[in-house]
Amino acid sequence: MTYFKLISKYKDYFKSIRFIKNYISFDLFFPESWIIKEGEDNIEVIKSKDKEGNPLTSFVTVFEEKNVDLLERKVNGIISANLEIEEKKRLFDEKVIELKNLFQQEDLENLRNIKFNSSPNLTFEENEILDDPIS
């Protein structure tokens, strides 16, 4: 991957790439609410704040091709998983509002006859949507 493509991919989150002796650090701005799994894959995760108080997450590993590739996959996974979590929460909240409105507008008999069509294998508990799906 070219340097331009790497930076473009993370442009909404990028702070810097640093080289410290034989280590590389990807420094990214992620929301504090994001779930970031730590302590694996020879990648150290360091959370801090920049001078303006913005949350900063640094991913540090030995500067070797296999580790940098792993670091890139990890960051990609964190971004895509957390964007999916945010979208699921938004959709969940939207559907709760729709359901509340339905219950306020319909009479009791119509509410008793409501059926939800979904995949027969689709079951969930609220905590499965709102808790950490990254494990």
Distance from the first to the final alpha carbon of the chain: 28
Q: Report the b/e string of 99-131 with b at 16+ CB within 10 A.
A: eeeeeeeeeeeeeeeeeeeeeeeeeeeeeeeee
Give pLDDT, residue 135: 43
The token duo for 132 is: 């950490």
Look at residue 132 and give its three-state secondary structure: coil
Distance of alpha carbon 3 from the chain centroid: 23
pLDDT value for 128: 53
Q: Report residue 99 as tokens.
A: 């359901």
DSSP annotation of 96:
H
| Mean pLDDT, contiguous 10-residue spans, the chain (135 residues) | 78 92 95 86 91 94 93 92 95 94 90 78 53 48
| Confidence at residue 123, expressed as pLDDT on a 0 to 100 scale | 54
